[in-house]
């Protein structure tokens, strides 16, 4: 990371990175490199132009971890790799450029225009688990392999006008904005054939699938989808300071979102356009300099084509709608050095997509999903030498209304997949001297069901980490220790796989300051 002022009106900066790393997971690796130059130009005292570019490439491994056995991750070493050692293809290429122009008409009126272009490509060969044949310790699991290529190109332009006014002693900050965007997405997939099943508890790896491997995307494809989306949006926001103790925030946004979708295998073409209004409101009370309390409400939506996909079941569906209520507080202690926060909230999806009871192959908007939660946080310094950061969240998520049946189970009354009811972390550090720092933390996460039907899950876990550092005027040396007790845990999962978290690990970092 290098840069600085070249002249009074020109600044240059260049960030670069290179990473070559292995993993505790067998046959995993990451090779990554990238660069990000930026230019800052002061055109006039009130006008500035910023130009930024990021280009990054990565080679790595498509790895979903361990298969599930009887509804939970298989009891095998967390290093176990079930793929093919010669079929570890996963390539990312990311390029995006941003141009931002800022102009200040006066101390109360300013405008900013941001244009961004993005180009993304991911080429990979999947390794997905399928059906488990349960014969005890001799059980096997089928495997699916697909050669896939996904490309995406984006153009977005956003303009914000900020105007500060005052009337009858009430200060008001207006935000007027527009956003226009276009995205082009293309996805191809071709299946490998003749993929043998593999033993779950005694896997024997092969180099490649063999002659049935999909090596290119020529000929007949199993999937080839193309989608173009366009967005036009206008928004307005008002932030009022009624008194020094009372402030309000209110705003709305109007979106027009269109999707053109084509299944190029069947030549099916679908189109949908949605026009929706989103809005939010909030009020804050600051009775003293050390206290603040707030209430907020937000409404948003999810259009049918949001994931670059439409089908005959969703093309005529209106957007799903979401609303969020939140009541919270922030209180400072120890002369403002320590802050505590708390909030209670409800998030609802009021017309969620669900199966049509008269036609299970069709989708209607008759579902209701609700998440009630509380969250707490503490951050800051207890003494000049002792600092702490802690957080906790409780989530009570329920599929309140649904006609969908999954794995033979009606989803109504179930909790949604991938929701952990209890999550939290505590990290504390202490400066033994001005140069020597030590610290440690506890991270915990409750169980997660991996499907809405609750037929599979990953267990909760508690992990302990530690740290020691030496600070100098021109360098820092830091040693981080992860998973001190070598706890077996899982970071993530899906309906038939779970990805293990890393075992005990040490990381030594040197930072030079000049």
What is the tens place of the pLDDT at every residue in 347-394? Answer: 999 989 898 888 877 888 889 999 999 999 999 999 999 999 999 999
- Specify whether the CB–CB gap between 101 and 112 falls below 8 A: yes
Distance of alpha carbon 231 from alpha carbon 254, whole angstroms: 10
Confidence bin at 514 (pLDDT 50/70/90): confident
Considering the entire predicted model, what is its pTM?
A: 0.89
Cα 41 vs. chain centroid, distance in angstroms?
33
- What span, in angstroms and rounded, lies between the C-alpha atoms of 417 and 406? 12
Tokens 């800052």 correspond to 40
Residue 464 has pLDDT above 90, yes or no: yes
Element (H, E) at 51: strand 47-59
The per-residue pLDDT of the chain, averaged, comes to: 95
Place of tokens 């001190």: 484
List Cα–Cα distances, 97 to 34, 100, 251, in angstroms.
Answer: 14, 10, 29
- Are the CB atoms for 238 and 173 separated by under 8 Å? yes
- Alpha-carbon gap, residue 259 to 254, rounded angstroms: 17
The pairs formed by 259-262 with CB atoms below 8 angstroms and a separation of 24 or more are 259/227, 259/228, 259/229, 259/303, 259/304, 259/305, 259/308, 259/310, 260/227, 260/228, 260/229, 261/225, 261/226, 261/227, 261/305, 261/308, 261/309, 261/310, 262/225, 262/226, 262/227
Q: What is the pLDDT of residues 16-71, one digit of tens each?
A: 999 999 999 999 999 999 999 999 999 999 999 999 999 999 999 999 999 999 99
Rounded-to-integer distance, Cα 215 and Cα 209, Å: 11
Q: Taking a C-beta distance cutoff of 8 angstroms, is the pair 212, 195 a contact?
A: yes
Distance, in Å, from the CA atom of 492 to the CA atom of 22, rounded to the nearest integer, reads: 20
Q: Considering only CA atoms, which of 123, 153, 300 is closest in space to residue 227?
A: 153
- Residue 205: the pLDDT is 86
State residue 61's pLDDT score.
Answer: 96
Sign of the alpha-carbon torsion through 205, 207, 212, 214: positive
3-state secondary structure 172-215: EEEEEEEEEEEEEEEEEEEECCCCCCEECCCCCCCCCCCCCCCC
Cα distance between residue 69 and residue 81, in whole Å? 15
Q: What is the pLDDT of residue 64?
A: 93
The one-character DSSP state at 317 is P
Give yes or no for a contact between 381 and 337, defined as CB atoms under 8 angstroms apart.
yes
pLDDT digits over 250-287, tens only? 999 999 999 999 999 999 999 999 999 999 999 999 99
Which residue(s) pair with 247 in the sheet? 241, 284
Q: Confirm if 228 and 182 have CB atoms less than 8 A apart.
A: yes
- List, for residues 423-456, the tens digit of each pLDDT value: 999 999 999 999 999 999 999 999 999 999 999 9
Report the distance separating Cα 87 and Cα 146, nearest Å: 11
Give the model confidence (pLDDT) of 209-223 as tens digits. Answer: 989 999 999 999 999
* pLDDT recorded at residue 357: 85
CA–CA gap between residue 347 and residue 323 (Å, rounded): 6
Give the Å distances, CA to CA, from 168 to 204, 241, 242, 366, 386. 78, 11, 10, 48, 46
The gap from C-alpha 316 to its chain's centroid, in whole angstroms, comes to: 28
Q: Which residues contact 274 (CB under 8 A, 6 or more apart)?
A: 255, 256, 257, 258, 301, 303, 304, 318, 319
Q: Which residue has the tokens 């141009």?
A: 99
Query: What's the pLDDT at 167?
Result: 85
Order of strands, sheet of 66-69, starting from the edge strand that comes earlier in the sequence: 72-73, 66-69, 497-500, 490-494
Instruction: Spell out the residues 6+ positions from residue 7 whose beta carbon is closer than 8 angstroms to its own.
Output: none
Q: Phi-psi region for residue 307, left (φ > 0), alpha (ψ -120 to 50) or beta?
A: alpha
Cβ-based neighbours of 168, under 8 Å, separated by 6 or more: none
């Amino acid at each position: 990371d290098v840069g600085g002022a070249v002249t009074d009106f020109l600044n240059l900066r260049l960030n670069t990175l290179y990473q070559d790393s292995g993993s505790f997971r067998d046959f995993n690796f990451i090779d990554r490199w990238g660069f990000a130059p930026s230019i800052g130009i002061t055109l006039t005292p009130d006008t500035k132009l910023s130009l930024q570019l990021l280009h990054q490439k990565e080679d790595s491994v498509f790895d979903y971890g361990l298969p599930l056995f009887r509804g939970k991750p298989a009891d095998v070493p967390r290093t176990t790799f079930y793929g093919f050692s010669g079929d570890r293809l996963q390539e990312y290429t990311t390029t995006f450029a941003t141009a931002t122009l800022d102009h200040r008409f006066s101390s109360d009126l300013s405008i900013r225009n941001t244009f961004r272009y993005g180009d993304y490509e991911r080429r990979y060969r999947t390794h997905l688990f399928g059906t488990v044949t349960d014969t005890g310790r001799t059980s096997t699991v089928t495997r699916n392999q697909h050669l896939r290529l996904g490309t995406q190109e984006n153009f977005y332009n956003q303009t914000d006008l900020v105007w500060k006014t005052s009337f009858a002693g009430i200060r008001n900050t207006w935000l007027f904005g527009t956003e226009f965007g276009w995205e082009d997405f293309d996805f191809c997939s071709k299946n490998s054939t003749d993929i043998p099943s593999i033993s779950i508890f005694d896997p024997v790896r092969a180099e490649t699938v063999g002659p049935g491997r999909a090596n290119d995307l020529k000929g007949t494809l199993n999937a080839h989808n193309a989608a173009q989306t366009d967005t036009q949006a206008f928004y307005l926001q008002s932030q009022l300071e009624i008194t020094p103790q009372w402030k309000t925030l209110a705003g709305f946004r109007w979106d027009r979102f269109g999707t053109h979708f084509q299944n190029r295998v069947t030549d099916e073409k679908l189109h949908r356009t949605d026009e929706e209004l989103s809005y939010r409101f909030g009020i804050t009370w600051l009775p003293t300099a050390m206290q603040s309390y707030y209430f907020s409400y937000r409404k948003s939506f999810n259009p049918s084509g949001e994931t670059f996909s439409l089908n005959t079941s969703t093309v005529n569906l209106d957007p799903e709608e979401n609303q969020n209520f939140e009541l919270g507080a922030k209180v400072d202690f120890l002369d403002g050095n320590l802050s505590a926060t708390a909030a209670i909230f409800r998030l609802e999806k009021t017309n969620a997509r669900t199966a049509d009871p008269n036609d299970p192959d069709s989708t209607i908007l008759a579902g209701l999903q609700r998440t009630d939660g509380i969250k707490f946080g503490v951050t800051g310094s207890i003494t000049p030498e002792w600092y702490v950061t802690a957080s906790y969240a409780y989530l009570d998520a329920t599929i309140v209304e649904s006609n969908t049946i999954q794995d033979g189970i009606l989803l109504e009354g179930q909790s949604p997949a991938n929701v952990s009811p209890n999550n939290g972390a505590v990290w504390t550090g202490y400066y033994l001297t001005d140069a020597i720092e030590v610290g440690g933390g506890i991270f915990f996460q409750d169980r997660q069901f991996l499907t809405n039907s609750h037929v599979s899950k990953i267990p909760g876990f508690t992990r302990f980490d530690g740290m020691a550092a030496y600070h100098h005027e021109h360098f820092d040396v830091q040693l981080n220790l992860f998973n001190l007790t070598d706890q077996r845990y899982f970071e993530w999962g899906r309906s038939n796989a779970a990805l293990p978290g890393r075992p005990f690990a040490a990381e030594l970092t040197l930072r030079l300051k000049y």
